[in-house]
């Protein structure tokens, strides 16, 4: 439930339970009036009070594991799909569940900032791209990564590595099937995806049965949990002093461990580069940044830029960490959903395999170059992103830098804005049969999912659109093609449970366990 009856009725309950003097009674009535303002208490004092529709009280839905569904239901029930106001503690929120207002919010320069959570701040993510305030510093981060990590040239250069990791995953699935007669695909995808990011960023692959791999996995798991946790201290300043959920303490411990881990890898790179033999062995992102440090320091006039690259304040580490947290699980989680759909819809799976066999044949392994010729496979990915967007609320929200109008409504500076992409992709006014898994719909209508059409924008849109979207898609397409080319995916007796659980991304609540039978 989004906002329980208790949320609404708390002040009345207090009034009825305790006999109080008249002055307090007047005060409490005043507070109740504020509480019952549309959008709740955080909106009651703003210039936009009583304007944008929204539930009274304090919405607790964001702390739940189905926030996207709860907010969608609330917006629908209040006929506030275009814009709904609500309060979380003393923070003012708006949420759009409509392509028009979503486009306005994401495209507006007013919403180019992100609200910074305590966990992100403690993990130094305010110095990394995803949370850095809009401005010169953030622009530099985007520019460096657009050129050196996410450019088409770099993405295609990493094609062989992606393919090798895919082949390795196929081997692992085969041996798990041999051992257990079933496979829990989530772990395989998670480690594959983590190694893919680690190779691109650090040029290093890990064995997750060994000490360093286990350590890395521990760091990633803890960081992912901390970033995903709903921290009441972010919205109730007094609680912040107490750190009741222990988020600050855990973050500080983690930063020390990550700095040690990443520091070791950077040292290895420096040592390797100092030997003559290493001169030709450049390629990963650490090397790119070391090159920038060595060759371009003179040209980098911006003090912040140098700080980003190699200052001791941990900004560089934060950058690496962010790539790992962002790049790993989005890809693995999306692929798990897709495989669940393949198991559930054998007809669709057969059609995709027939397409692969037609284009690739049966004698050679599928590769990046085949993907443009596999439109049905691409449609499966699009349809999965529609039904199971990894960021149903577009992961991380936006913050209004200044006052702005959205639709017919005035939104004051300091308001946090969210887009409920899940609500849009499940709205029958926007999509026909929105609850049916039908990749064919994308064969009939050409549609970009990169952010220009807000009916389906799983990577966000506007200035802060996901910079890793092309890399993420290249990985998902190739690995899906490899998994479908190699195996026939079949259910176990228990079937497939599509229950969801929203953490930092929208995960399957119960991991997919199925059978993968070799096709040849
Ligand atoms: C299926 C894969 C992925 C999905 C669905 C996804 C989704 C998203 C979404 C919804 C946002 C917020 C966009 C907005 O506010 O408009 C975002 C931002 C971001 N993503 Fe991704 N992402 C994926 C893969 C990746 C990968 C592979 C990387 C890097 C290795 C990455 C790095 C980032 C970063 C750094 C940001 C913050 C950008 C900024 O604030 O300037 N993502 N992503």
CA distance 465 to 394: 10
Cβ–ligand 1 distance for 154 under 6 Å, the answer: no
Summarised one tens digit per residue, pLDDT across range 156-199 is 999 999 999 999 999 999 999 999 999 999 999 999 999 998 88
DSSP 14: H
Quick one: average pLDDT of 279-288? 63
> How far, in Å, from the CA of 177 to the mean position of ligand 1?
33
> How far, in Å, from the CA of 354 to the mean position of ligand 1?
32
Cβ–ligand 1 distance for 459 under 6 Å, the answer: yes
Say yes or no to pLDDT of 49 above 80: no
What is the per-residue pLDDT for 280? 47
> How far, in Å, from the CA of 146 to the mean position of ligand 1?
13
CA distance 503 to 128: 21
- Largest separation between any pair of C-alpha atoms in the chain: 86
Query: Can you spell out the DSSP letters for 133-161?
Result: PTTHHHHHHHHHHHHHTSSHHHHHHTHHH
Cβ–ligand 1 distance for 71 under 6 Å, the answer: no
Summarised one tens digit per residue, pLDDT across range 220-252 is 888 878 877 787 777 777 777 777 788 888 888
Query: Where residue 312 falls among pLDDT bands split at 50, 70, 90?
Result: very low
Known binding-site residue numbers: 466
Summarised one tens digit per residue, pLDDT across range 204-216 is 888 888 888 888 8
Say yes or no to pLDDT of 278 above 70: no
Cβ–ligand 1 distance for 483 under 6 Å, the answer: no
Cβ–ligand 1 distance for 318 under 6 Å, the answer: no
Cβ–ligand 1 distance for 464 under 6 Å, the answer: yes
Cβ–ligand 1 distance for 162 under 6 Å, the answer: no
> How far, in Å, from the CA of 395 to the mean position of ligand 1?
8
Going by alpha carbons, the residue nearest to atom 41 of ligand 1 is 464
Residue 429: count of CB within 10 angstroms of its CB: 10
What region, left, alpha or beta, does residue 46 occupy, with left being phi > 0 and alpha being psi -120 to 50 degrees? beta
What is the per-residue pLDDT for 332? 95
Task: Name the CATH superfamily for 122-518.
Answer: Cytochrome P450 (1.10.630.10)
Quick one: average pLDDT of 25-46? 74
Best mutation site among 141, 149, 384, 459 for ligand 1, i.e. most ligand atoms within 8 A of its Cβ?
Answer: 459
Atom of ligand 1 nearest to the CA of 138: 41
Cβ–ligand 1 distance for 106 under 6 Å, the answer: yes
What is the per-residue pLDDT for 348? 98
Three-class DSSP category at 304: helix
What is the per-residue pLDDT for 163? 96
Cβ–ligand 1 distance for 331 under 6 Å, the answer: yes
Quick one: average pLDDT of 485-508? 93
Known binding-site residue numbers for heme: 466
What is the per-residue pLDDT for 62? 76
Phi, psi of 45 (to 5 degrees): -95, -5
Task: Copy the structure tokens of residue 227.
Answer: 């970033």
Domain boundaries along the sequence of the chain: 5-97, 122-518
What is the per-residue pLDDT for 262? 78
Query: Where residue 16 falls among pLDDT bands split at 50, 70, 90?
Result: low
Q: Select the more confidently predicted residue: 378 or 445.
A: 378
What is the per-residue pLDDT for 31? 67
> How far, in Å, from the CA of 460 to the mean position of ligand 1?
8
Quick one: average pLDDT of 110-138? 80
Average pLDDT, the chain: 85
What is the per-residue pLDDT for 315? 55
> How far, in Å, from the CA of 192 to the mean position of ligand 1?
18
Q: Where is average pLDDT lowest: 324-338, 379-393, 446-460?
A: 324-338
Q: Where is average pLDDT lowest: 56-70, 80-94, 141-155, 404-418?
A: 56-70
Say yes or no to pLDDT of 296 above 60: no
What is the per-residue pLDDT for 302? 36
DSSP 315: H
What is the per-residue pLDDT for 293? 66
Going by alpha carbons, the residue nearest to atom 38 of ligand 1 is 130
Best mutation site among 326, 327, 452, 505 for ligand 1, i.e. most ligand atoms within 8 A of its Cβ?
Answer: 326
Say yes or no to pLDDT of 319 above 90: no
Closest to 314 in 3D by CA, of 256, 265, 269: 256
Summarised one tens digit per residue, pLDDT across range 448-490 is 999 999 999 999 999 999 999 999 999 999 999 999 999 999 9
Atom of ligand 1 nearest to the CA of 460: 16
| Alpha-carbon torsion (340, 345, 350, 353), positive or negative | negative
Cβ–ligand 1 distance for 327 under 6 Å, the answer: yes
What is the per-residue pLDDT for 432? 97
Cβ–ligand 1 distance for 379 under 6 Å, the answer: no
Residue 82, C-beta contacts closer than 8 angstroms, at least 6 positions apart: 96, 97, 98, 100, 101, 407
Cβ–ligand 1 distance for 451 under 6 Å, the answer: no
> How far, in Å, from the CA of 299 to the mean position of ligand 1?
29
Quick one: average pLDDT of 60-64? 75
């Amino acid at each position: 439930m989004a906002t329980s009856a208790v949320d609404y009725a708390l002040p009345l309950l207090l009034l009825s339970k305790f006999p109080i003097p008249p002055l307090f009674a007047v005060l409490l009535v005043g507070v109740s009036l504020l509480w019952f303002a549309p959008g709740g208490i955080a909106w009651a004092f703003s210039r936009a009070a009583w304007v944008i529709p929204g539930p009274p009280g304090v919405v607790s839905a964001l702390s739940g594991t189905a926030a996207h569904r709860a907010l969608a239901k609330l917006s629908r029930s209040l006929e506030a799909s275009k814009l709904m106001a609500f309060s979380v503690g003393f923070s003012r929120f708006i949420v759009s569940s409509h392509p028009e207002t979503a486009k306005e919010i994401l495209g507006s320069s007013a919403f180019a900032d992100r609200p910074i959570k305590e966990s992100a701040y403690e993990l130094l993510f305010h110095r990394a791209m995803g949370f850095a305030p809009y401005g010169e510093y953030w622009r530099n981060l985007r520019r460096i990564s657009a050129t050196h990590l996410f450019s088409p040239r770099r993405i295609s250069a990493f094609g062989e590595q992606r393919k090798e990791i895919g082949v390795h995953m196929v081997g692992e699935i085969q041996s798990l099937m041999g051992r257990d007669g079933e496979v829990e695909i989530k772990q395989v995808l998670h480690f594959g995806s983590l190694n893919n990011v680690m190779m691109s960023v650090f040029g290093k692959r890990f064995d997750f049965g060994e000490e360093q791999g286990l350590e890395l996995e521990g760091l990633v798991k803890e960081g992912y949990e901390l970033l995903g946790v709903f921290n009441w201290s972010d919205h109730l300043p007094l609680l912040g002093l107490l750190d009741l959920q222990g988020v600050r303490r855990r973050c500080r411990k983690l930063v020390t461990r990550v700095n040690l881990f990443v520091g070791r890898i950077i040292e290895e790179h420096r040592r390797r580069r100092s030997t003559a033999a290493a001169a030709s062995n450049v390629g990963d992102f650490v090397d790119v940044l070391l090159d920038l440090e060595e060759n371009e320091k003179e040209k980098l006039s911006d003090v912040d830029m140098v700080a980003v690259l190699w200052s001791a304040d941990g900004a560089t580490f934060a950058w690496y960490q962010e790539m790992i947290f962002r790049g790993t699980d989005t890809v693995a989680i999306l692929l798990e959903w897709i495989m669940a759909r393949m198991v559930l819809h054998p007809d669709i799976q057969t059609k995709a395999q027939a397409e692969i066999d037609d284009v690739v044949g049966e004698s050679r392994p599928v590769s990046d170059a085949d993907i443009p010729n596999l439109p049905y496979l691409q449609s499966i990915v699009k349809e999965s992103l529609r039904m199971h967007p990894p960021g149903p609320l577009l992961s991380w929200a936006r913050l209004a830098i200044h006052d702005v109008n959205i639709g017919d409504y005035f939104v004051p500076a300091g308001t946090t804005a969210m887009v409920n992409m899940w609500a849009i992709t499940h709205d029958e006014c926007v999509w026909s049969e929105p609850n049916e898994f039908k990749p064919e719909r994308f064969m009939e209508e050409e549609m970009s999912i990169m952010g220009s059409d807000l009916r389906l924008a799983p990577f966000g849109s506007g200035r802060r659109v996901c910079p890793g979207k092309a890399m993420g898609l290249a990985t998902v397409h190739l690995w899906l093609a490899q998994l479908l080319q190699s195996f026939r995916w079949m259910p176990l007796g228990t079937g497939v449970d599509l229950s969801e659980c929203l953490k930092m991304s929208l995960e399957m609540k119960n991991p997919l366990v199925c059978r993968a039978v070799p096709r040849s």
